[in-house]
Amino acid sequence: MPQLIPTETIIANLRRGEDVNGVTRYLYATYSRSIKGYIRKLGGLPDDAEDIVQEVMITFLHQIVNGQFELREQTDLGAYLIGITRRKWLKKMESETRRRERQHWFATGSDDPQTPETIVLETDYQSRAWAYFQQLGETCRQVLTAFYQDEQSLEDIAAQYELGSVGAVKMRKFRCIQKLLKLADV
Amino acid sequence: MISEDPVERWEQLEDYLRGRMEDGQSRQLEERMKTDTKLTDELVSVRRAQALLTEALAEQQMRATLRQIRVETSVNTRSASWMPVKWNQVVLWAAAACVLLMSYLSIVPVKLPDAGYDVMALRRIDTTQLSGQQRIAFENFFEGQARMVEGDYVQAAHHFENVLTVEDLRPYFKEAAEWHLAVSYLQSHQFNRASQLYRRLRYCNQCAYEVGWLNRRKMEWKLFIAGLWL
């Protein structure tokens, strides 16, 4: 059993982006078994369960970062994650049913039954921030990760990524962030 | 001094939000923001960028960790998946060996060491001149053995009982007769008698007539099985 990390610490760390690796491993070690068991009880396969565990963790992170998760005195993190799991599974099942229906309609030549509501329902919430970040160039991602996550100095980044000078790193960082903001504002 | 260069100013605003700016410079920045809306907007952008980066980088880390866990788990599962196969085989072989051993112990009769030609059966005797009692002991012993070979264990038991009525038997011969009697009891379904006699033989301190480990196990197993039916 991993050493107990208080829920307050988990939330604070994820919100600040600190020790995400450790917190993720803790959450996985502590709750993945019950999540997988729950999915299997609902008729899911082991691969489904593994996928859902990952989605549940990411969704939990989004909820913390976006302030959707409120820590109350009686909050049971395990029960909360099972709640996310249930919604994820239902959404997956609904999506599967719709996909089969669409295949059926396509085969029989009927109209596509999709409505704007169903499209919204099928579109799983994804972190916009991460999606935008992925759209940046590789050097941008490396520089921003090195500076903000790994907290490397500008000098080290300049040397590691052969950017020449500290000024050049600042300039690159600035442009990358502007691009990120631009992507986010579209 | 707040820089006029946008790149440097961005760095300064980041320092301000992270609490890394000197007090004097912070106050100066705050004063300037009261009148400079462009600077205020820039600060909002920096804050927004930092929020986006915190979330994106946290998710990036979490995804990487989950990927790593998945790899580790699949490696463990792969190696673990070998374990049950191995253990299954071990358990299967062990079960088969147990069945074989139990069958062997149940089917194969107890084989006692040959004591047929031990003419030193009685103490202080001249082997050329056996007394009437001594002769009775010898004759009954050999008769009992012959009955055992023929499968007539009731009669065999009777002969060995006669042997044991003779006093002053040498320990070796006495124990041999007792063992033969125990086996005869067992084979003639007199399990209680067999069990009582075997218990005594089993716990003898200085056994003169040595029966091997395997034959003792055979005896115990047969008595155990018989005990289940009693």
At B111 the pLDDT is: 85
Domains: count for chain B = 2
B19 part of contact set with chain A, CB < 8 Å: no
The percent of residues above 90 in pLDDT, for chain B, comes to: 37
Specify the higher pLDDT residue, B223 or A119: B223
Query: Do A16 and B54 make contact, defined as CB atoms within 8 angstroms?
Result: yes
B204: domain range?
132-229
* Of the residues A122, A138, A168, the one at which a domain ends: A122
Task: Give yes or no for a contact between B30 and A107, defined as CB atoms under 8 angstroms apart.
Answer: no
Structural contact between residues A14 and B65, judged by C-beta atoms closer than 8 angstroms: no
With H, G, I as helix, E, B as strand and everything else as coil, classify residue B129: strand
What is the rounded distance in angstroms from the CA atom of residue B173 to the CA atom of residue B169? 7
pLDDT-based confidence at residue B130 (cuts at 50, 70, 90): low
B14: CB partners within 8 A, 6+ apart: B46, B50
Domain-located, residue A52: yes
Residues of A within an 8 Å Cβ radius of B: 14-17, 20-21, 24-25, 28, 50, 53-54, 57-58, 61-62, 65-66, 127, 129-130, 132-133, 144-145, 148-149, 170-171, 174, 177, 180-181, 184
What is the residue range of A44's domain? 7-122
Question: Which of the listed residues A67, A93, A122 is the one where a domain comes to its end?
Answer: A122
Higher-confidence residue of A127 and A151: namely: A151
Using an 8 Å CB-CB cutoff, list chain A residues near B9: none
Which pLDDT belongs to residue B96?
94
pLDDT on residue B121:
47
In the numeric block, the tokens 């599967």 are attached to A96
| φ, ψ at B169 (rounded to 5°) | -75, 145
CA distance A56 to chain B (A): 11
| Nearest-CA distance A182 → chain B (Å) | 10
pLDDT of B14 higher than 90: yes
Can you tell me the distance from the alpha carbon of A153 to that of A176, in angstroms, rounded to the nearest whole number?
Answer: 17
Among A105, A122, A139, give the residue marking a domain's end.
A122
CA distances from A48 to A11, A43, A78, A172, A177 (A): 26, 10, 19, 41, 36
Q: Which percentage of chain A shows pLDDT scores above 70?
A: 83
Cβ atoms of A64 and A85 closer than 8 Å: no
Q: List, as ranges, residues 31-90 from B with C-beta within 8 Å of A.
A: 45, 48-49, 51-66, 69-70, 73
Pick A149's closest partner by Cβ from B8, B61, B63: B61
Q: Which two tokens stand for residue B108?
A: 């194969």
Residue B161 confidence (pLDDT): 92
Of B72-76, B175-179, B225-229, the poorest mean pLDDT is in B72-76
Please indicate, yes or no, if residue A75 is contained in any of the structural domains. Answer: yes
In a domain? residue B108 = no
Instruction: Kindly tell me if the per-residue pLDDT of B117 is higher than 60.
Output: no
* pLDDT for res A119: 38
ipTM confidence: 0.82
Confidence of residue A185 (pLDDT cuts 50, 70, 90): confident
CATH code of the domain in which B150 resides: 1.25.40
Tokens of B148: 């055992």
- The pLDDT of residue A186 is 58
Quote the number of domains for chain A.
Answer: 2
Secondary structure class of B150 (helix, strand, coil):
helix
Considering the domain architecture, whether residues A102 and A143 belong to the same structural domain is answered as no
Kindly state whether residues A103 and A12 are assigned to the same domain: yes
The verdict on residue B139 lying in a domain is yes
A20 & A46 share domain? yes
Residues whose CB falls within 8 Å of the CB of residue A57, separated by 6 or more in sequence, listed in order: A24, A27, A28, B62, B66
- Give me the pLDDT at residue B45, please: 93
To probe the interface with A, which of B57, B68, B71 has the most A CB atoms within 10 Å?
Answer: B57
Does B98 contact A at CB distance below 8 Å? Answer: no
- The C-alpha atoms of residue B106 and residue A131 are separated, in whole angstroms, by 73
Q: pLDDT over 70 for what percent of chain B?
A: 87
pLDDT at B228: 82
Which residue among B10, B59, B69 sits closest to A129, beta carbon to beta carbon?
Answer: B59
Does the pLDDT at position A121 exceed 50?
Answer: no
Nearest to A174 among B10, B63, B70 (CB): B10
Q: Judge whether B71 lies within some domain.
A: yes
Same domain, A54 and A100: yes
Least confident range from A33-37, B40-44, B109-113: namely B109-113
